[in-house]
C-alpha cells in the first residue's frame, strides 16, 4: 500500500508556480479572497490561502464583509472586483450565510476571474473540454494527485461517491475527458443508489466525496483499488486536546491495507485544493495579459 502524500505533491506544484510567477513580466497576479462572517473553518481556510499566495509571490486582497451583508450588497462588491483590472481572480469562501444564494453568487463572479471554477460558464467548459476555462480546485487537485502518483485512468472504472457541484459532478466529468490521464469509465453513486457496495467494489479508483465520516468500509472496496478520500469531518474525540479529530469519508485504518494507493486525511486532497486555486490565479493573469 502506497500513501499518496498531498502535502509533498502540493509543495512541488507550489515551487513550480513560484518560479513561474517570478518570471512573469509586469504586475504580479492578484487574488481577491472574500470571506463573509467568522465561520472558524472558513477563517482557517482563507488564512491558508493567503499564506500560500504570499509564498508563491501572488498578491492577495482580503475582503471581510459583515455577516449581515445583503445579497444585493455582495453583488455590488463582486461587480466592483469584476471591473477592477488589477484583480485576476476572485474567490468567495463558502459556506455563505443562509440568507445568501450561494449558486447566484458563484454566477455573479466574472467567468474569466472565477478561479474557483463554479461559474456556469466554467462548469460548461469542463463538459466541453475547453481548456480556456477554470476547473474547480478540489476536482483539479484530485486529477493532479492521480497523475503525479502515476495513476492513468484510461480504461479504468472510476466510481465517484457523491454528486456535489463542488466535487462529485466536476471530477466525474474530468475523469471522462478524452485526454491523457483521463478516458475512464465513470459511475456516480449517491444517497439514492441501490446496492451501493456492489458498485463501489467494482471501482479501480474510488473517489469518496459525501461528507460522512468513515462511511467507506472494507466491504465496499476491492483489493488493489486506488482510494481518494475527499472528506474532512470533525469527529468528537475526548483523547484530543481540541476535543475532536479530523477524519475522512473512508475508514482509513481498515481500508488502507486493501488498497494499492490511498490518500490520508488530513494531508491528502486538502493541500492540493489550495495549490490548484493558486495555479488558476496564475492562469487568469496570463489569460488577461
Mind listing the pLDDT tens digit for each residue in 212-227? 999 999 999 999 999 9
Percent of the chain scoring above 90 in pLDDT: 93
pLDDT at residue 40 in the model: 85
- Where are any strands of DSSP class E within 72-121? 89-92
Residues of the chain with CATH 3.40.50.720: 137-270
**Domain 137-270 in this protein, CATH class:** alpha beta
Contact 50, 60 (CB under 8 A): yes
- pTM of this structure: 0.95
Per the annotation, the verdict on 114 as an active-site residue is: no
pLDDT (average), residues 156-177: 97
User: Could you tell me the pLDDT band of residue 128, with boundaries at 50, 70 and 90?
Assistant: very high
pLDDT (average), residues 250-262: 98
Residue 78 has pLDDT above 90, yes or no: yes
Phi, psi (rounded to 5 degrees) for 161: -95, 105
Residue 255 has pLDDT above 90, yes or no: yes
Ranges of H-type helices in 57-208: 71-83, 102-108, 120-127, 137-148, 168-176, 196-200
Per the annotation, the verdict on 237 as an active-site residue is: no
Contact 26, 288 (CB under 8 A): no
* Catalytic residue selected from 93, 114, 156, 261: 93
Per the annotation, the verdict on 116 as an active-site residue is: yes
pLDDT (average), residues 254-280: 97
* Catalytic residue selected from 88, 113, 114, 116: 116
Q: Does domain 24-112 have CATH number 3.40.50.2300?
A: no
Amino acid at each position: 500500500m502506497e500513501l499518496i502524500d498531498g502535502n509533498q505533491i502540493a509543495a512541488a506544484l507550489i515551487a513550480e508556480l513560484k518560479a513561474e510567477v517570478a518570471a512573469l513580466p509586469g504586475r504580479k497576479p492578484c487574488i481577491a479572497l472574500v470571506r463573509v462572517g467568522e465561520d472558524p473553518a472558513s477563517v482557517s481556510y482563507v488564512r491558508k490561502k493567503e499564506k500560500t499566495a504570499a509564498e508563491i509571490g501572488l498578491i492577495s486582497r482580503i475582503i471581510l464583509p459583515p455577516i449581515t451583508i445583503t445579497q444585493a450588497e455582495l453583488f455590488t462588491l463582486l461587480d466592483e472586483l469584476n471591473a477592477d483590472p488589477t484583480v485576476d481572480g476572485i474567490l468567495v469562501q463558502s459556506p455563505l450565510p443562509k440568507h445568501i444564494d450561494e449558486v447566484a453568487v458563484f454566477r455573479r463572479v466574472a467567468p474569466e476571474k472565477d478561479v474557483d471554477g463554479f461559474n456556469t460558464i466554467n462548469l460548461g467548459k469542463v463538459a466541453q473540454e475547453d481548456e480556456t476555462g477554470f476547473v474547480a480546485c478540489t476536482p483539479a487537485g484530485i486529477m493532479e494527485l492521480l497523475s503525479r502518483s502515476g495513476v492513468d485512468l484510461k480504461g479504468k472504472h472510476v466510481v465517484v461517491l457523491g454528486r456535489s457541484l463542488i466535487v462529485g459532478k466536476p471530477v466525474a466529468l474530468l475523469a471522462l475527458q478524452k485526454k491523457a490521464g483521463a478516458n475512464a469509465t465513470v459511475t456516480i453513486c449517491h444517497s439514492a443508489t441501490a446496492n451501493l457496495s456492489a458498485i463501489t467494489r467494482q471501482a479501480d479508483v474510488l473517489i469518496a466525496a459525501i461528507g460522512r465520516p468513515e462511511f467507506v468500509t472494507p466491504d465496499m472496496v476491492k483489493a488493489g483499488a486506488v482510494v481518494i478520500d475527499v472528506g474532512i469531518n470533525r469527529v468528537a474525540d475526548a483523547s484530543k486536546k481540541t476535543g475532536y479529530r479530523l477524519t475522512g469519508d473512508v475508514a482509513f485504518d481498515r481500508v488502507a491495507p486493501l488498497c494499492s494507493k490511498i490518500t490520508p486525511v488530513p494531508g491528502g486532497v486538502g493541500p492540493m485544493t489550495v495549490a490548484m486555486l493558486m495555479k488558476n490565479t496564475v492562469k487568469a493573469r496570463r489569460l488577461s495579459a
